[in-house]
Structure formats: C-alpha cells, structure tokens
Copies of this chain bind each other. A is one copy, B any other.
Amino acid sequence: MRETSFQPLTAATVLESAKAQIRRFGEAKTNVTDVARDLGVSHAALYRFYRSKSAMMDAIVQEAMDDEAHLAAHYIGADGPAAERLVAMLLDLHRRKRDRFVGDREIHDLYQRIVVDRPDMIATYAERITNLVADLIDEAVRRGEWHIDDTDVAARVVRDAVTVYVHPAFVAQLVTANAPVEAMLHATVTTLIRAFESSMRYGNMKEA
C-alpha cells in the first residue's frame, strides 16, 4: 500500500503502484481499480494522468526503454577505443534485458507483450538505439579507427545482428536454455568490428 507513506498523486506514483501490482499479480490480474485502491484514491482519479489502462502499460515499458537508451547513450563521445565501447554498450543492453527476465519477470512479460502489440513503439525504440550505434560508429570513423563508407547501413547491420541478444523473447529463450549468451554476443560484435577495422564498403544501398 502506497497509502500509508503519504505521497502526492502524480503520474510517477501511479506508475509505481501499477508496477507494484503487476509484479505481485501479473498484468492479466492487474486492474486500474486495484492500482487506485493501492494509492487510496478512486480509479477515476488515475485517468487524470493516463487516458487509458493501456496507456499506463505503455508508459511502464516506455520507461524501461528510456532507461535502456540512457544506458546506451553513456558510451557515445566517451574515451577509449570504439571497439571496446560498442561491445560494452551492447553487453549492457543485453544484461538489462536479462536482468529483467531473471529478476523482474512480470515486467519483462509486459515488455514482451508490447513488442508484439505495439510494433510502432518498438520501431521508434529500435531507431533510437540504432542512431546511438550510428553515432558511435561515426566517431570511430572520424577518429580513423574504422573505415566505413555508409555508417547508417553499418549501424543497421549491427542492430540486426544483435537483435537476437536484446529481444525480450530471445533473451528469455537463451537464458532459459542456459546458452553462453555473453560469449556469443561478444563473438558476434567482435566479428562486425573486425570488418569495420578492415574497412567496409556498402556501396549505394537504398535507405530503409
């Protein structure tokens, strides 16, 4: 109960209660009346902050996505070789997903549902991360570490190649199967980097 430790009702406190409900009972058994009861208000009060229940669910996942983007952004414009930073960035993104699956299962399940039900949200998120990768690649090219004629294509190659390590459904499967995920992610990224170091000419590939 949030009610006991009194807090003003805000979008953030509503989201906290919603997450708490989902963690206890799962998304399926979570209804806005229970979330409101947890906050000590009527369910209608929550519609001041979210115009629907699904907007609330979306916001929870959006928060997680923002967290991941922030985590990844940390490696842009930082010191050290681009190769090490790219590996670290993608490893971090993988670990965030894995940690959610292992330690915050119900939220992970919600995230996974959104991946299916909201391709638009996922596309926006994917583009955001891809742009961060593109920024890192651009730096490496400017610093002369890598030689790539089309850094946008290179960024999308990276994104597609590591999707399997960051997509909630695959992470769940790989972790469950006890696969050596980090080693494989490392091998994959190392391979891409080798190509970038050796110089990649993509020619005139048309945009997405």
Contacts and interface: CB of A to CB of B under 8 A. Distances in A.
Interface of A: 119, 123, 153-154, 156-157, 160-161, 163-165, 170, 173, 177, 179-180, 183-184, 187-188, 190-192, 194-200, 202, 205-208
Integer count of this chain's copies in the complex: 2
Given A194-B200, A195-B198, A198-B194, A188 B165 contact: no
Contacts of A180: 205-208
Nearest to A202: B187
Contact of A156 (B156, B170, B184, B196): B184
B205 A157 contact: no
Given A163-B170, A183-B206, A194-B199, 19 more contacts: A119-B177, A123-B177, A156-B184, A157-B188, A157-B191, A161-B164, A161-B191, A180-B205, A180-B207, A180-B208, A184-B208, A187-B202, A190-B202, A191-B200, A192-B192, A194-B195, A194-B200, A195-B198, A197-B198
Nearest to A205: B183
Nearest to A188: B157
A180 to B, nearest CB: 6
A54 to B, nearest CB: 20
A184 B161 CA distance: 10
Contacts of A179: 208
Nearest to A148: B191
Contacts of A157: 184, 187-188, 191
Contacts of A199: 194
Contact of A164 (B123, B163, B205): B163
B191 A119 contact: no
Given A153-B187, A180-B208, A191-B200, A164 B173 contact: no
A151 to B, nearest CB: 12
Contact of A195 (B173, B183, B191): B191
